[in-house]
């Protein structure tokens, strides 16, 4: 850690020194302004070095050898699982299943829990603001198993409509799945309240935490949820690894998702017995170095303090919304700053989002343009696409100023 941080503030200047990529120029004389952390965050030296050190000094497969390297690699791999479990408040690291990403974590629940518990006449309740990762797996299973899917609507300010959500719960869905923070609108949903309502209706609760876990305190015990899916690459960790938290009794009952090595206790020619948690869901050689990086990433964020990170992003989004509203032709989507995270999706009148992003890129400003893997939400908004600027712990007020200057430059091009 470059500089010790207080509990309620971040030294962003010191933090930026931990991220080598933030020093680069996208072209000569043009400094990178990275505003695309909702897609994937950048990586600090602490994470990069932890993975390099593992490859250089400890690399081996895990769980399968008794030689020194195998034992060291296994210890490092399982230590990372312990720290990830602690980061989200899991009671036991056995409740943390390593997956490739949040998408695979949701697919695991859909294919394992869903296949065992859903059928003709059942209902799965989602929301209109879901990422494709929390829509398509359920659609795939519905086409196979015959259950129905309904979507809780939004209010006019693009928050969850709790009254309509409650009315849909009267139909007693078997599972309720929703994002904690929308990757388009930035809307932060009241997870604890929604989970309590869903449990009262007899439903299992799955939360997509891909956007929330990197940016705020997320404690599965306090929220009282059954499943939580999240990825390392959005929280300063490497790509290629994510995690599923599951309530232990549910994970115990669920059949394996994939078959092969490591996920078995015993195999015969005509049968097999699955391994204990979490191994029964982790077939084959796992992403070992990525897990080491995952552990290093949660260590990094924990030392900074998630409340301080949340506070910094709140200041960033308040500044961004205030300035975006002053740009002629800009319309921002999502609720007011107090109800959202560091995500600002917007349109600029008479200018396609792809053109906005391309012109901003010439100025070194990296934003995302498109439907952001949320086509049904964009259809609901009556939009083919939006431009999205997203903020993280390493962004500065000056970078927001650069974004605004860039938007005025876009207006000039298309005047």
- Please tell me which residue in 12, 30, 366, 373 is annotated as part of the active site: 373
First vs last Cα of the chain: how many Å apart?
47
Segment (H or E) for 309: helix 306-324
Quick check: 149 and 165 in contact, CB under 8 A? no
Backbone angles phi, psi at 311, to 5 degrees: -65, -40
Q: Say whether 266 sits in a helix, a strand or coil.
A: strand
Establish whether the linkage from the previous residue to 278 is cis, with ω within 30° of 0.
Answer: yes
Name the residue among 343, 324, 346 with its Cα closest to residue 333: 346
Q: How are beta strands 33-34 and 30-31 bridged, if at all?
A: unpaired
Work out whether the CA dihedral 263, 264, 267, 273 comes out positive or negative.
negative
Measure the CA–CA gap between 402 and 400, rounded to whole angstroms.
Answer: 5
Instruction: Characterize 143-167 residue by residue with b for buried, 16 or more Cβ atoms within 10 angstroms of its Cβ, and e for exposed.
Output: eebebebebbebeeebbbbeeebee
CA dihedral 243, 249, 252, 253 (to 10 degrees): -110
Quick check: 391 and 35 in contact, CB under 8 A? yes
Concerning whether 236 is annotated as a catalytic residue, the answer is no
Measure the CA–CA gap between 401 and 334, rounded to whole angstroms.
Answer: 21
Q: Outline where DSSP puts E strands in 101-182.
A: 123-127, 148-152, 175-179
Q: Say whether 388 sits in a helix, a strand or coil.
A: strand
Helix axes 191-200, 162-169, angle to 10 degrees: 20
Measure the CA–CA gap between 76 and 290, rounded to whole angstroms.
Answer: 11
* Residue 195 half-sphere exposure toward CB, CA atoms < 13 A: 19
Active site residues: 373
């Amino acid at each position: 850690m470059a500089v010790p941080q207080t509990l309620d503030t971040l030294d962003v200047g010191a933090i930026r020194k931990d991220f080598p990529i933030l020093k680069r120029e996208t072209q000569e004389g043009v400094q990178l302004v990275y505003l695309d952390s909702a897609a994937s965050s950048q990586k600090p030296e602490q994470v990069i070095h932890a993975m390099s050190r593992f490859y250089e000094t400890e690399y081996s497969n895990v769980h399968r050898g008794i030689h020194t390297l195998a034992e060291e690699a296994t210890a490092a791999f399982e230590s990372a699982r312990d720290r990830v479990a602690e980061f989200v408040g899991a009671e036991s690291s056995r409740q943390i299943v390593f997956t490739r990403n949040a998408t695979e974590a949701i697919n695991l629940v859909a294919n394992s829990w869903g296949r065992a518990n859903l059928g003709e006449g059942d209902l799965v309740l989602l929301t209109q603001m879901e990422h494709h990762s929390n829509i398509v797996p359920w659609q795939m299973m519905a086409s196979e198993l015959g259950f129905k899917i309904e979507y809780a609507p939004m209010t006019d300010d693009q928050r969850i409509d709790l009254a309509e959500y409650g009315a849909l719960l009267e139909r007693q869905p078997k599972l309720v799945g929703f994002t904690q923070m929308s990757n388009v609108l930035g809307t932060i949903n009241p997870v604890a309240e929604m989970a309590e309502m869903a449990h009262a209706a007899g439903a299992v609760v799955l939360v997509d935490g891909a956007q929330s876990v990197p940016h705020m305190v997320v404690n599965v015990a306090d929220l009282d949820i059954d499943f939580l899916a999240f990825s390392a690459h959005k929280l300063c960790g490497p790509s290629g690894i994510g995690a599923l938290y599951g309530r232990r009794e549910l994970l115990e009952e669920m059949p394996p998702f994939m078959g092969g090595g490591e996920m078995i206790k015993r195999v015969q020619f005509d049968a097999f017995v699955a391994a204990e948690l979490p191994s029964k869901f982790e077939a084959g050689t796992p992403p070992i170095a990525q897990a080491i990086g995952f552990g290093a990433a949660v260590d990094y964020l924990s030392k900074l303090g998630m409340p301080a990170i949340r506070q910094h992003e709140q200041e960033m989004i308040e500044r961004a919304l205030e300035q975006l509203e002053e740009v002629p032709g800009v319309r921002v989507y999502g609720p007011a700053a107090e109800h959202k995270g560091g995500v600002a999706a917007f349109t600029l009148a008479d200018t396609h989002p792809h053109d906005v992003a391309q012109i901003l890129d010439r100025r070194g400003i990296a934003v995302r343009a498109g439907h952001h893997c949320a086509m049904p939400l964009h259809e609901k908004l009556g939009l083919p696409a939006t431009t999205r600027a997203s903020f993280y712990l390493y962004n500065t007020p000056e970078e927001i100023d650069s974004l605004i200057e860039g938007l005025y430059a876009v207006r000039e091009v298309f005047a």
